[in-house]
Structure 1
Amino acid sequence: MKKAFIVTVTIAVLSATGARAQGNLGIGVMAGEPTGISIKNWFNDIHAMDAGIGWSFTENDSLHLHTDYLLHNYSILPLRQGGDKMPVYAGVGLRFKAKNTHGSGENEDDHIWGVRVPFGISYLFANSPLDLFAEIAPVFDFTPDDEFSINGAVGARYYFR
């Protein structure tokens, strides 16, 4: 099941087409919950897909994977000079966590699936292949138990031309 999820995320992120001045595919780092690698691929100026693989430091440390479909709005926080852009975005996606509960008295591994609803802001530099971002994402886990949590991270990505 983990392999199928990873393959699906990779194909979805890497298969998009479209043209952006700074490049379609960005790879970088994120710090927060989770902390790890962030990937974003733009379909066009409005639609994008992102993915993250990282480490979650809550609840017995766990591997965290997510992918989100994102819609961007440039008119909420317009920038008036320099060509830089600061879109606000929202989306929906999936989150998978592989949690090790050994030593907690449960003696089993948990595989947790949930739905993410990310909200964030990006800063896109007109003359640089970098972006900065901050996001918060409520997460509704649906297996093995119904639970609610929040992800939040800040990060930066480099876009390949």
Structure 2
Amino acid sequence: MKKLALIFICTLCFGFAQAQNDNWAVGFKLGEPTGVNIRKYFNNINAIDVTIGTYGMLKESYRNDKVRPNVGLSVQVHYLWHTPLFNSESVHVYYGLGGQVNSRSYTKRNEKTNGAVSLGGSAIGGVEYFIPNNRISVFLEGGTYVEVIPAPFFFSPNISGGIRFNL
């Protein structure tokens, strides 16, 4: 009976250690954008990734004007496809498409501060390393944001890295 209980507990622990991308992950992303990152895995192929935080720290121009760097609130959502890299359970690559909503203020040259709520599409790609026998993963990703409203075709690169705790 003790052996059966031990086998059951070991199987559960091994299952949890290997099932790092089966449910939810919560973490922090630093870069563009910076903020809290939440990921919901649906299966071994798809996930939804949401980042809530700040945007605009790396850009010094907006809408063809030099601006004072002002950060604002950002919500970024992506639908992701992910797959193990070289059949490794520890390293996954992913890519996805989604959108981004930003609210920030900017100051034109020697003028008053203007507010802007912007909406646009975004795409990302990245690599994530799941630390073996641990619930922590680290990631590095890059992508682009293309604004639709109010400055059509305003282009901004998104580069960030972070850490997630896989629930």
Q: TM-score, normalised by structure 2?
A: 0.74
Partner residue in 1 for 2:137:
131
Deviation at 1:106, TM superposition (A): 4.5
1:30 correspondence with 2:26: no
SS at match of 1:127: coil
Alpha-carbon RMSD across the aligned residues, in angstroms, is: 2.0
> How much has 1:78 moved relative to structure 2?
3.8
- Counterparts of 1:138 and 1:64, CA distance in 2: 14
Larger Rg: 2
Separation in 1, partners of 2:86, 2:144:
23
Q: Does 1:153 align with 2:160?
A: yes
Q: Render the CA deviation track for 1:72-108: whole Å, top value 9, x for unaligned.
A: 122x4443xxxx4211111101111101136862533
TM-score (norm 1): 0.77
The equivalent residue for 1:12 is none
- 1:10 maps to what in 2? none
Residue of 2, 18, 21 corresponding to 2:19: 21
For residue 91 of structure 2, give the secondary structure of its aligned residue in structure 1: coil
Question: Aligned-pair distance for 1:126?
Answer: 3.9
| Cα distance in structure 2, aligned partners of 1:131 and 1:34 | 19
Q: 2 CA distance for matches of 1:103 and 1:117? A: 28
CA contact (8 A) 1:51 1:68 kept: yes
Structure 1 segments of 4 or more deviating over 3 A? 76-79
- State the partner residue of 1:39: 38
Aligned to 1:141: 147
> What secondary structure does 2:113 align onto?
coil
Task: Choose which of 86, 97, 104 in structure 1 pairs with 2:102.
Answer: 97
How many residues align? The count is 137
Pair 1:118-2:124 in alignment: yes
